Amino acid sequence: MNAASRADPVLRLASASPRRRELLASIGVTVEVVPTDIDESRLEEESPERFVSRLARQKAEAGHVGSALPTLGADTVVVCDDAIFGKPADQAHAREMLMMLSGREHRVLSAVAVLGPRGLVESRVSTRVVMRRIDEAEASAYWATGEPLDKAGGYAIQGLASIFVDQLVGSYSAVVGLPLAETAALLRGQGVPLWGGALADGGPGDLPS
């Protein structure tokens, strides 16, 4: 087939994350990718919840400039005790985070915001993840794979780190980067068709006016 057979984008994705693009593709949403470059530092006394929500909204707003399409922004962090784990700065940082996560439970917070005809709407999901004990040799071998580098908390549940995961309660897709049930509801409320156009009405995700 030719270019005409390719689906036209129905959403602008304000994210450089290939995971988010793939997750959206998995529910039949074709995107145009416009990564943003916002300041991702945490404000003083800002809770992890407020932090991820603010970043998701700011990414959507920054990415929406000049767009005729609704725009989605998202943010994902790992929360362990009261600490927020973002992407590892280096091997020592990645190892430190993994050792903190070893043999215990943590939370993954994922926020998604969509800016469209109904304004800026947002959802946030907290998922509980329990990891088995991870030893130093595994942490070194894991770093050497390159996988931890661009992942919050320095691990990818969808990848090699799946062998560390004992339990998950919540949204698997949210841990990977986008809570899909919540995202679908926001998108439908903004008139974005899902499933390649097969699900095109406002549906249960429609927002009250």
Ligand X SMILES: Cc1cn([C@H]2C[C@H](O)[C@@H](COP(=O)(O)OP(=O)(O)OP(=O)(O)O)O2)c(=O)[nH]c1=O
- Give the C-alpha separation, 177 to 25, whole Å: 13
State CA 187 to chain mean position distance.
15
Among residues 60, 108, 184, 186, which is the contact residue for ligand X, using CB under 6 A?
A: 108
x/- binding map, residues 40-59, to ligand X, per CB under 6 A? Answer: -------------------x
- Give the C-alpha separation, 67 to 90, whole Å: 36
Return the number of the residue (76 or 123) whose C-beta is nearest ligand X.
76
Binding of residue 174 to ligand X (CB under 6 A): no
- Give the C-alpha separation, 143 to 149, whole Å: 8
Return the number of the residue (78 or 125) whose C-beta is nearest ligand X.
78
SS3 percent helix, strand, coil of the chain, rounded to 5, is: 40, 25, 35
Radius of gyration of the chain (CA): 18
x/- binding map, residues 1-30, to ligand X, per CB under 6 A? Answer: --------------xxx-x-----------
Q: Interface with ligand X by CB under 6 A: which residues?
A: 15-17, 19, 35, 59, 74-76, 78, 87, 108, 150-153, 155-158, 175-177
